[in-house]
Amino acid sequence: MAGTLYVVATPLGNLEDLSPRAASTLKRVTAIAAEDTRHTKPLLTHVGSRAELISFHAHSSEAAPRRILHLLASGKDVALVTDAGTPTVSDPGARLVAAARARDIPVVSIPGPTAVAAALSVSGLGADRFLFLGFIPRKGAERRRLLDVVARSEWTVALFEAPPRVAELLADLAAACGADRPAAVARELTKLFEETRAGTLAELAGYYAEAPPRGEVTVMVAGTGKPGRDEGPAPPAPPDREARARALLAQGMTRRDVAEQLAAETGITRNSAYRLVNDL
């Protein structure tokens, strides 16, 4: 029988947030696939795990997933962890999970911390429904497209960003969404210097331009509260009455007949239609 791939959520910072189930899983698996083995070693020491650490990240060669899948196929249990929070959320774990599922290898979630839910819970912004965009591109057409998605979203939008680029992102969001759009920035969640700051996009952009943040950052932007422009068909453009009147006259119709048809087609009064036709 194949082993099981456990997708294990780990603390954002505070080790007390590691669940007993997660700790026991990390202790009994044969190997642990980690985004950064140096970061994960202290966690394994904390729980007393002697599992083999395998480096698995966005730039890993195909050798890493092959080794992990070989262990699973041979009946060994493997845990997948990320540096902080829940694996596969803005990290490469999804491709390992997909590869395991394609081989009928059991995949089990060991739930726990996630920066998105933690940040939303203290933001003061609506979270009944929300949109998560992760890290957006630093520049180019795709960045502009996603900024427009944020601007049009009727729901709160959550994004991740590297600390040195937070002020730039907030400035771009202010330009796309409007300077007064409510937002919040959460950083270093569950750690010693945890901070969540709320305000308008303009206020937050100015603050972080003067005081660049440190640590892991989640940016949240309030939604419009109404369906975006792409929700359903756009209303039809009002008819060009003058152009329609000229077209009807060109067909040889009398001015009276043109005025009556124009009134019927566009909803304007007959007197208004007569005046428009006579002015032509």
In tens digits, the chain (280 residues) has pLDDT values of 899 999 999 999 999 999 999 999 999 999 999 999 999 999 999 999 999 999 998 888 889 999 999 999 999 999 999 999 999 887 788 989 999 999 999 999 999 999 999 999 999 999 999 999 999 999 899 999 999 999 999 999 999 999 999 999 999 999 999 999 999 999 999 999 999 999 999 999 999 999 999 999 999 999 998 765 444 444 444 456 777 787 777 777 788 887 887 777 666 777 777 787 888 7
Same domain, 101 and 126: no
Domain that holds residue 265: 241-279
Look at residue 227 and tell me if it is in a domain: no
Same domain, 106 and 124: no
Same domain, 53 and 134: no
Instruction: Give the number of C-alpha atoms closer than 13 A to the C-alpha of residue 170, restricted to the C-beta side.
Output: 33
d(CA 203, CA 91) in angstroms, rounded, equals 30
Of 85, 113, 141, the position where a domain reaches its end is 113
Same domain, 104 and 44: yes
Burial of 68 (0-12, 13-18, 19+ CB in 10 A): buried
Of 89, 113, 137, the position where a domain reaches its end is 113
Look at residue 261 and tell me if it is in a domain: yes
The partner residues of 80 in beta bridges, in order of sequence, read 7, 33
User: Please, which residues have CB within 8 angstroms of residue 263's CB and are 6 or more apart in sequence?
Assistant: 269, 270, 272, 273
Total count of domains within the chain: 3
Same domain, 106 and 9: yes
Look at residue 41 and tell me if it is in a domain: yes
d(CA 84, CA 108) in angstroms, rounded, equals 18
* Helix, strand, coil abundance in the chain, percent, nearest 5: 45, 20, 40
Cβ count near 275 (within 10 Å) = 12
Question: With contact defined as beta carbons under 8 Å apart, do 91 and 9 qualify?
Answer: no
Same domain, 95 and 121: no
Closest CA to 80 of 104, 103, 51, 59: 51
Same domain, 124 and 28: no
